[in-house]
Structure 1
Amino acid sequence: MNLRQLEVFQAVLQTGNMSAAARLLCITPSAVSKAVAHTELQLGYRLFVRTPAGLTPTPEAQVLAAESTGIHRQLDALRRTARNLGTSDTGDVRLAAIPSITHEFLPRVLQEHALRYPQVGVEVRTIHQDQMTQALLTRSVDFCLGFYKHPHPQVRSELLVSGRMYLAVAQAVWTRAPRAVTPAARLAQVPVIRLVGDDPMRQSIDEIAQRLGTPAGPGLQVQTSRLALDLVRRGMGWTVVDFLTATQLDPQAMVAVELHELPPMSLYSYHARALPPGLPATRMLAMLPGLLHQALSAKVA
Structure 2
Amino acid sequence: MRLRHIEVFHAIMQVGTISGAAQVLHISQPAVTKVLQHAELQLGMPLFERVRGKLYPKPEAHRLFAETEKLNRDLQGIRRLAASLKGRAVETVRLVSTPTIAISVLPEAMTLWRRDFPKARCELATHHTSEIVNVLRLGEADLALSLQDPRHPGIVAEPIAHGKLTVMAPAGTWSEEECRRPISADGLSGELIGLADGDPLGEMVVSACESQDVHPVFNTVVQTYQIARSLVEAGAGTAVLDPFTAASAAVGKVQRRTWEPEIPVNLYLLTASHSPLSHGARELANCIGATARACLEKGSP
From the superposition, tell whether residues 290 and 178 of structure 1 become closer, same or farther in structure 2 (CA, over 3 Å): closer
TM-score, length basis structure 1: 0.81
- Give the gaps of 5 or more residues in structure 1: none
- Structure 1 pair 179–136 and aligned structure 2 pair: CA distance change class (3 A): closer
* 1:90 counterpart residue number: 90
2:183 alignment partner in structure 1: 184
1:204, 1:262 within 8 Å by CA — same for their partners in 2? no
On the 8 A contact 1:21/1:32 being kept in 2, the answer is yes
- Give the AA of the match of 1:58: K
Q: Which amino acid in structure 2 is aligned with residue 44 of structure 1? A: G
Shift of 1:45: 2.1
Q: How many residues align?
A: 299
Matches within 5 A, 1:39-58: 39-49=39-49, 55-58=55-58
Q: Residue type matched to 1:264 in 2?
A: P
- The answer for the alignment partner of 2:201 in structure 1 is 201
Shift of 1:261: 1.6
Q: Which amino acid aligns with 2:290?
A: G
For 1:35 and 1:288, the matched residues in 2 are separated by: 49
Q: Alpha carbon RMSD of aligned pairs, Å?
A: 3.5
Task: Provide the C-alpha distance between the structure 2 equivalents of 1:277 and 1:17, rounded to a whole number of angstroms.
Answer: 43
> What's 1:264 paired with?
264
Alpha-carbon separation, structure 2, partners of 1:142 and 1:181: 40
User: Aligned letter for 1:137?
Assistant: R
Distance 1:288 1:269 in 2: 9
Task: Give the TM-score of the pair, scaled to structure 2.
Answer: 0.81
Q: Once the two structures are superposed, what CA deviation does each residue of 1:93-150 show, in whole Å capped at 9, x if it has no partner?
A: 2222111111111112232334433333222222222322232233333322101211
Distance 1:38 1:246, change over 3 A: same
Does the CA-based 8 Å contact 1:90-1:117 persist in structure 2?
no
1:150 corresponds to which residue? Answer: 150
List runs of 5+ in structure 2 lacking aligned partners: none
1:37 aligns with 2:44: no
**Alpha-carbon distance in structure 2 between the residues aligned to 1:9 and 1:208:** 56
Cα–Cα, structure 1 residues 271 and 13, in superposed 2: closer, same or farther, change >3 Å? farther
Show the 5 A alignment for 1:1-301: 1-18=1-18, 21-22=21-22, 24-49=24-49, 55-76=55-76, 90-174=90-174, 183-184=182-183, 187-210=187-210, 216-217=216-217, 219-278=219-278, 280-301=280-301
SS of 1:151 mapped into structure 2: coil
Structure 1 residue 225 displacement after superposition: 0.9
Which AA in structure 2 matches 1:71?
A: L
**What is the rounded CA distance, in whole Å, between the counterparts of 2:280 and 2:87 in structure 1?**
9
Q: Which moved more, 1:96-105 or 1:109-118?
A: 109-118
Between 165-174 and 130-139, the greater mean CA deviation after superposition: 130-139
Q: What are the Cα deviations for residues 163-211 of structure 1, in whole angstroms up to 9, with x where unaligned?
A: 2221111114336x99799552584332321111322211332145447
Identity, % of aligned positions: 28
**1:67 maps to amino acid:** E
Q: Is the 8 A contact 1:83 1:91 kept in 2?
A: no
* d(CA) in 1 for partners of 2:90, 2:297: 32
Give the match's secondary structure for 2:173.
helix
Q: Residues 182 and 92 (structure 1 numbering): CA distance in 2 closer, same or farther, change over 3 Å? A: closer
Given that 1:192 and 1:214 are in contact with CA atoms closer than 8 Å, whether structure 2 keeps it comes out as no
- How far apart in 1 are the matches of 2:51 and 2:228? 50
Q: Deviations over 1:15-38 (max 9, x none)?
A: 444455455545455543432232
- Separation (CA, whole Å) in 2 of partners of 1:159 and 1:138: 22
Change (3 A) 1:181 1:214: farther
Per-residue deviation, residues 239-263 of structure 1 (Å, max 9, x unmatched): 1222222322223110111225233
Q: Sort the Cα spacing of 1:59 and 1:220 in 2 relative to 1 into closer, same or farther, 3 A.
A: same
Kept in 1: contact 2:22–2:28 (CA 8 A): yes
| Aligned mates of 1:6, 1:38 — CA distance in 2 | 11
Query: 2:130 corresponds to which letter in structure 1?
Result: D
**Offset, 1:10:** 2.7
Bigger CA drift: 6-15 or 211-220?
211-220
Paired AA for residue 193 in structure 1:
I
Amino acid across the alignment from 1:7: E
Deviation, 1:2, is 1.3
Q: Higher mean Cα deviation, 39-48 or 21-30?
A: 21-30
3-state SS in 1 of match to 2:257: strand
SS at match of 2:298: coil
